[in-house]
Amino acid sequence: MIIVTGATGKLGRRTVERLLERVPADRVGVSVRDPRKAKDLADRGVRVRQGSFDDPASLVHAFEGAEQVLLVSLDRTGEECVTGHRTAVDAAVKAGVGRILYTSQMGAAHDSRFQACRDHARTEDLLRATGLPWTALRNGFYAASALQFLESARRTGDIALPADGPVTWTGHDDLAEATAAILTEEGRFEGPTPPLTGAAALDFSAVAEIASRATGRPFTRTVVPDDAFREQVLAHGAPAPIADLMLSIFAAARNGEFTAVDPTLAELIGREPAAFGALLERAWAE
């Protein structure tokens, strides 16, 4: 059985849907905080069990009988994130899981300027220490993050953000499809995968040109000093740790941590990944 955590979230849900195209529903299970949100999956024959990264016993139960578990990384940062991941890894070992897969990120490294990438590197260390077969999916930077940064520009036409560097923005749908392919062809990767990325690394100046072509409206790119951007984020009600986390994305991009472009994702899904322009058009048409 293949167990997926976070199966009501953006990536987890998409991965389950792609898995159900490849294997019978009785071979798929999900671990979710609120089983009510996965009722439609249960109705389709998926095994739904409650599991929380804050409750080790619930995870051991949710992982029971799993040949593979996909741990979808938590939407937390720092010690809180790594502690939750440690709980899940330990539960997988205790449940006798055959292989652990984990949604890491391109640029995962202990010296990354982006906190999340440091958290991913620490989690990969936990996986390495288990002695079990494991795979870290080095996912390209989610295009959804870029689209969030563009929300105000969608209204104003001005992409006013800190100085950045090229980032290989990658779509959730493509990554979910690749994850399902890896889960159903066991042993394809041992340890970290190559970067699972789209076909182009783009800075926000390039994104401005793409947005202009996609909408027929002019978009400009204005560089906002880091301190001024942080103050803006705080003024909109975000706590200081979130403001610092957002700034660290730009610092890491300037440091060249997200520039990798690799063919592995295209090979896994059998086609070119969706271009950022197509992802932007789809999101802005909604």
Tokens of 152: 């105000």
Contact at 8 Å (CB) between 100 and 134? yes
pLDDT per residue as tens digits for the range 114-149: 999 999 999 999 999 999 999 999 999 999 999 999
The total of structural domains in the chain comes to 1
**Scanning the structure block, which residue is given the tokens 């294997």?**
23
**Scanning the structure block, which residue is given the tokens 């493509």?**
174
pLDDT per residue as tens digits for the range 238-285: 999 999 999 999 999 999 999 999 999 999 999 999 999 999 999 998
Q: What pLDDT sits at residue 187?
A: 67
CATH number at residue 15: 3.40.50.720
Compute the distance between CA of residue 243 and CA of residue 115 in angstroms, rounded to an integer.
12
> What's the whole-model pTM score?
0.95
Cα Rg, the chain, nearest whole Å: 19
Alpha helix stretches (DSSP H) within the chain: 10-20, 39-43, 56-62, 78-94, 115-130, 143-149, 151-156, 172-183, 204-215, 226-235, 240-254, 264-269, 276-284
CA 122, 128, 130, 135 torsion: positive or negative? positive
- DSSP letter at 141 equals P
pLDDT values of the chain reduced to their tens digit, one per residue, 286 residues: 999 999 999 999 999 999 999 999 999 999 999 999 999 999 999 999 999 999 999 999 999 999 999 999 999 999 999 999 999 999 999 999 999 999 999 999 999 999 999 999 999 999 999 999 999 999 999 999 999 999 999 999 999 999 999 999 999 999 999 999 999 986 689 999 999 999 999 999 999 999 999 999 999 999 999 999 999 999 999 999 999 999 999 999 999 999 999 999 999 999 999 999 999 999 998 7
Name the residue range of residue 124's domain.
Answer: 2-139+172-195+262-269
- Upper half-sphere CA count for residue 242 (Cβ side, 13 Å): 10
Nearest to 151 by CA among 57, 246, 73, 39: 246
Q: For residue 186, count other CB atoms closer than 10 A to its CB.
A: 14
Q: What pLDDT sits at residue 286?
A: 73
How many whole angstroms from its chain centre is CA 88? 17
Question: Per the domain annotation, does 244 fall within a domain?
Answer: no
Question: Per the domain annotation, does 275 fall within a domain?
Answer: no
Instruction: Name the burial class of residue 67, with classes exposed (0-12), middle (13-18) and buried (19+) by CB atoms within 10 angstroms of its CB.
Output: middle
Question: Per the domain annotation, does 250 fall within a domain?
Answer: no
Question: Per the domain annotation, does 157 fall within a domain?
Answer: no
Nearest to 195 by CA among 265, 113, 111: 265
Which residues partner with 161 through β-bridges?
223
